[in-house]
Amino acid sequence: MSDRSGEHGAPGLSSGGGADAGTAELADTPESWPVEGREEHFKGRIVEVRTDRVRMPNGDTTEVVQRDVVIHPGSVGVIGLDDQDRVLLIRQYRHPVGRLLWEPPAGLRDVDGEPPWRTAARELAEEAGYRAREWHTLVDVFTSPGMTNERVRVFLARGLSEIPEEEIDFERIHEEAGMPVAWVPLDEAVAAVRRGHIHNPLAVMGILSVYAARETGYRDLRAPDAPEG
């Protein structure tokens, strides 16, 4: 199957990648190199896997190379912060890495048309049993851009309150059953990240981002519905 879309970004036509390129505003920019062909290998419950044949620069000319791509619906994560500067973490079994990981509440963007912060609020309720009064965008990331298009937005949630038992209308199953919830002082969480004791990427990025945001009095946080670049 051939896909020639995006040829405006053909190799050799972009600006050079020198030290001064793009420094007027340090920001990632959209780019699309020509795809000469595509082979789809697998479609599962969450991800798809394909191989693209991409035309890329090679000296003064170009060449076609193969790149395996994992297609992912995207995710959200929530760093809950209380008035005592504690972050809310859950502990969840992750089969691919064979570990119990400390993580923020998180989940897939698997509801069509649902704003990401609404997805995050739902995950905060379902995984931790809390709701938040105040929401901000904390950080946007591509988790592993060399192999997947998964993008994650991590939110900061404050003004948290526990959801009364009689209002909980869902049941946790599988990995989510019996997950412990812990409130960890932010400084201790940062130290755990730096010691290599916390490995979940949303936890690492979120904890360090909240720590940095605290240094500026949370003045530069974006709105929960801020555009994704």
Q: Which residue out of 36, 48, 126, 176 is catalytically annotated?
A: 176
Q: In percent, how much of the chain has pLDDT > 70?
A: 86
Q: What number is the average pLDDT over the span 59-73?
A: 96
DSSP three-state, residue 219: coil
The DSSP code for 35 is E
The pLDDT score that the predictor gives to residue 8 is 42
pTM here is 0.84
The pLDDT score that the predictor gives to residue 11 is 45
The pLDDT score that the predictor gives to residue 24 is 61
Buried-state track 49-72, b at ≥16 Cβ within 10 A, e below 16: bbebbbbeeeeeebeeeeeebeeb
Lowest mean pLDDT among 24-38, 94-108, 131-145: 24-38
The pLDDT score that the predictor gives to residue 171 is 63
63 within 8 A of 37, measured Cβ to Cβ: no
Model confidence at 138: pLDDT above 50: yes
75 within 8 A of 107, measured Cβ to Cβ: yes
pLDDT tens digits, 204-221 = 999 999 999 999 999 999
pLDDT tens digits, 82-108 = 999 999 999 999 999 999 999 999 999
Model confidence at 117: pLDDT above 90: yes
The pLDDT score that the predictor gives to residue 25 is 84
pLDDT tens digits, 40-64 = 999 999 999 999 999 999 999 999 9
Model confidence at 164: pLDDT above 70: yes
Q: Reply yes or no on whether 176 is catalytic.
A: yes
Q: What is the mean pLDDT of the chain?
A: 89
Q: Which of the pair, 84 or 24, is modelled with greater confidence?
A: 84
Buried-state track 109-145, b at ≥16 Cβ within 10 A, e below 16: beeeeeebbebbbbbbbbbbbbbbeebbbbbbbebee
Q: Which of the pair, 20 or 193, is modelled with greater confidence?
A: 193
Q: How far apart (Å, rounded) are the C-alpha atoms in residues 130 and 159?
A: 10
